[in-house]
A and B are shown apart, each in its own frame.
Chain A
Amino acid sequence: MTISMAHFPILAIMVLFLGAFLVALFGRKSEVLRNGISFLATGGAMAFMLALIKPVMIDGEVITYWLGNWAPVSGWAIGISIEVDALSLFFGLVITVAVFVSCIYAFTYMKEDDSLANYFTLFLMLSGSVLGLVLSGDLFNMFVMIEIMTFTAVALTAFRNNYEGAIEGAFKYLAVGALGSTAVLTGIAILYCQLHTLNLAQIAATLPQYADSPLTIMAFGLLFIGFGTKAFIFPFHPLAADAHAVAPASISLMISGVLTKCGVYGIIRLVYVLFQNVEVPAVQYLVVGFGTVSMFICVTMAFNQHNFKRLLAFHSISQVGYVIAAIGLGTALGLSSGLYHAMNHTLFKGLLFLTAGAVQHATGSLDLDRLGGLAKKMPKTCILFLIGAASISGLPPFNGFASKWYIYQAAFEKGSTSGNFFFIFVCVVALITSVLTLASFIKVAQSVFFGQLSPEFKDTKEVSLAMRIPMWILAVLCIFTGLLPGKVSEYLLTPATNAAMNAVNYIDQMMGQGYAVSHGVAGSLGDTAVTFAGVWDPVIWLLLLFCVTCAVAIVAILGSNRKLGTREAPAALQEPEKVAPAEAKYEPFFSGEESVYSQVGGSDLFWGFKHNLKKYFSFMHDWHSGIVNDYALYGVVAIAFVLVFCIAFV
């Protein structure tokens, strides 16, 4: 049996699961074997995905594969299928790159932990399940993958169970995540009962007949909120904060960069391919509404945080809110910009979590109120952090700016063409959230890297090169995707958007030509020509910036008198005056000359902003109670709300 292109997806998934199995068997014996197997497994999966770029993205093929060769019989799909179109491959690429980077990072970062064979087994299972989710063509298979994903993620969150709150955080994730999984399962069960099939393509083909039935709409609502739980949208966001705060940094990268993307992928498949109801205004309101609320609430919550990783977790959900709001707009530009931002989010968020891990590794602390001045001790990590922070804040010419700009354009255009003020409101909220994100990262930069070094951290050392390499990989990718949005759009985004909007092709590839039309599925949705308006050619900009900087620097240097050298304290101060015993009673009035540690950071910053919004912040503080029962309640209320909304309006 020859291995052809069609086998690559299943090979990628199997390589990861096989790796997990082998690490479980042999990992305890030898560290080299364990690391080697993990590296080969993740590298192999990434290689398979990269090899698929040419046929799927560039040539536009769709790879289909029936497990066990159980092809459809008389128009009914019986077997489990794998269908890799450009959308799946897009997410597959993002996922495998993130998995590979996380794996390399974990080699050094987790060195001091024990039972690492367990860690890598779970990690490879997590990776395999996530890849299986996005490549799967079968709805129940997706659910199975979600379950593997959830359980391994929960176990990995609690991996460092000596941390305070680790098991509690994992428990919250499990409990409320189970709500989401239940919602997905119920939705799938309802669809199966109605349509008697689990194959995505066949569901997409046969669903339009039942489009108005309340059961179908209920299934839509359940599936939407179920996938939304995986993406941690509002009101499931407190789970992410608790989970991220205690998970190891490489797992935080996975949770924020990879698991949330699975939720996003699920929502895209649901709305664009399965139900094809993204042009229904009520659905747009639902999706965009959830995205916008997540965006804004999470970024304001981040202002109150003391823990570096909790703050990053809230920002992670805020950015996922951007993605969901963008894909909910229903236009090609919206979907395209949402996908771009999803990719960028994995890259820059991953980078930020890894730098947080590096800080934790070097100092042992993540408390923003205690850290400070680390730029002197960890300069290279500082540069990496600044790249990540500039990307997430949307500063040109990094990648966050490009994708956010397209999201604003998409929202503004949608508002204009539909005449609906809601989308303009979304655009305004998005712009405000961007500047609040910037403020939050200025706070982190000042609290962790700049400012004064606390005496308790004066022995910190820079982290090793082995930990910096994965961070540099992500940073370089951040810079490149920011400098070349045209190329990214041409090779990655446009094929993915076309694939998502062209459900007919998806169905036909799977079930045979003509299947879709015979079942009355309409043609592709809307206009897939994406025009990225405006002159944004970042390479020219960088040259400009460089020229101007040179010109200015020359002028300034010509005139100044630079004496390089250090200054000593003047002679008059060399000996502090000793206080004679008779005058000791005046001592309290002559305070000493030692420099005092006075770092302004953490909670000291942005008083003006927090003061004015005191009521809002105290309400948020009380609402995020930390009790898992409350979070489960919010989850149930959200499910109920979505169901009622869907049945009433969709």
Chain B
Amino acid sequence: MFQNMMDKSVAKSPWLFHVNAGSCNGCDIELVAVLTPRYDAERLGFRLAGSPRQADIVVVSGPVTRQTRDRVIRTIEQVPEPRVVVSIGSCPRSGNVFKGSYAIDGPLEKWVHVDVAVAGCSPKPEAIMAGLAQATEILKQKRKEMRK
């Protein structure tokens, strides 16, 4: 009974941790906008956590630069299970305009398994919300699998 309650709660209270892997900040601003009163992600229970240890969903933006690559991997490793990685924007997916540069070492999929990728440059807040909502469903699935 407790376990069912926990499965449901994991979907109802997903906490975000935002990692900037060399982003131009455009996606970051849109992510913060999602939490403002106009789009209000808090009604779905989202909350920006300050520490990766308290997060459920890791939101990564930016092409993974060489300097940030190890840090991103480390940070994601510090997030307790069950966790979901969401990449925002097209930079983590393909590098966008930075593809082929000496400075980046992406895409993110090369290093961690990305569960949800929200495309766009920068994606609209509504798209980000839709991506996060999908991520909560995947989170619930992962928790159920974790129990087995």
Contact = CB atoms under 8 A, between A and B. Distances in A.
**Range, interface on chain A:** 10 to 19
A592 B56 CA distance: 28
A572 B111 contact: yes
B41 to A, nearest CB: 26
A567 B2 contact: no
A164 interface: no
B74 A590 contact: no
A593 B6 contact: no
B73 A572 contact: yes
B2 A589 contact: no
A419 interface: no
A627 interface: no
A433 B61 CA distance: 50
Interface residues of B, number: 13
A588 to B, nearest CB: 11
A561 B146 contact: yes
A570 B112 CA distance: 10
Contacts of B2: 558-559
Interface in A562-618: 567, 569-570, 572-573, 576-577, 589-590, 593
A589 B3 contact: no
Contacts of A572: 73, 111
Grouping DSSP codes into helix (H, G, I), strand (E, B) and loop, the A interface class, with mixed when no group exceeds half, is loop
Given A558-B2, A590-B66, A590-B67, A570 B77 contact: yes
Contact of B74 (A558, A559, A573): A573
Nearest to B110: A572
A570 to B, nearest CB: 5
B147 interface: yes
A570 B67 CA distance: 17
A572 B6 CA distance: 32
Contacts of A567: 77
Contact of B147 (A561, A573, A590): A561
A554 B83 CA distance: 25
A558 B147 CA distance: 13
A173 B108 CA distance: 68
Contacts of B70: 573, 576, 593
A542 B65 CA distance: 55
A225 B2 CA distance: 67
Nearest to A555: B2
A570 B73 contact: yes
A577 B69 CA distance: 11
Q: Most chain-A CB neighbours within 10 Å: which of B2, B3, B70, B146?
A: B70
Given A569-B77, A589-B67, A559 B3 contact: yes
Q: Most chain-A CB neighbours within 10 Å: which of B5, B6, B66, B146?
A: B66
Contacts of A593: 70
A567 B81 CA distance: 12
A589 B68 CA distance: 11
A89 B77 CA distance: 63
A182 to B, nearest CB: 61
Nearest to B6: A559
Interface in B62-90: 66-67, 70, 73-74, 77
A25 B70 CA distance: 70
Grouping DSSP codes into helix (H, G, I), strand (E, B) and loop, the B interface class, with mixed when no group exceeds half, is helix
Contacts of B66: 577, 590
Contacts of B147: 561
Interface in A525-566: 558-559, 561
Interface in B14-33: none
A572 B2 CA distance: 36
A561 B2 CA distance: 12
B73 A573 contact: yes
B103 to A, nearest CB: 9
Nearest to A568: B77
Contacts of A559: 2-3, 5-6
Nearest to B9: A559
Contacts of B3: 559
Q: Most chain-B CB neighbours within 10 Å: which of A569, A570, A589, A590?
A: A570
A573 B77 CA distance: 11
A633 B78 CA distance: 60
Contacts of A558: 2
B89 to A, nearest CB: 22
Contacts of A590: 66-67
A561 to B, nearest CB: 6
A573 B72 CA distance: 11
Contacts of A570: 73, 77
Nearest to A591: B67
A569 B147 CA distance: 24
B85 to A, nearest CB: 13
A561 B70 CA distance: 28
A570 B71 CA distance: 12
A573 B71 CA distance: 10
A414 B6 CA distance: 56
Nearest to A558: B2
Contacts of B146: 561
A593 B3 CA distance: 39
Nearest to B2: A559
Interface string A199-229: 0000000000000000000000000000000
Contacts of A576: 70
A596 B74 CA distance: 15
Nearest to B77: A570
Nearest to B143: A561
Contacts of B67: 589-590
B116 to A, nearest CB: 20
Contacts of A577: 66
A569 B2 CA distance: 32
A577 B70 CA distance: 10
Interface in B30-71: 66-67, 70
A411 to B, nearest CB: 43
B78 to A, nearest CB: 9
A593 B72 CA distance: 12
A593 B111 CA distance: 17
Contacts of B6: 559
Interface in B91-112: 111
Nearest to B65: A590
A569 B76 CA distance: 11
Nearest to B5: A559
22 contacts: A558-B2, A559-B2, A559-B3, A559-B5, A559-B6, A561-B147, A567-B77, A569-B74, A569-B77, A570-B73, A570-B77, A572-B73, A572-B111, A573-B70, A573-B73, A573-B74, A576-B70, A577-B66, A589-B67, A590-B66, A590-B67, A593-B70
Interface of A: 558-559, 561, 567, 569-570, 572-573, 576-577, 589-590, 593
Given A573-B70, A576-B70, 15 more contacts: A558-B2, A559-B2, A559-B5, A559-B6, A561-B146, A567-B77, A569-B74, A569-B77, A570-B77, A572-B73, A572-B111, A573-B74, A589-B67, A590-B66, A590-B67
Closest 10 CB pairs of A and B: A559-B2, A572-B73, A570-B77, A572-B111, A590-B67, A558-B2, A559-B6, A573-B73, A570-B73, A573-B70
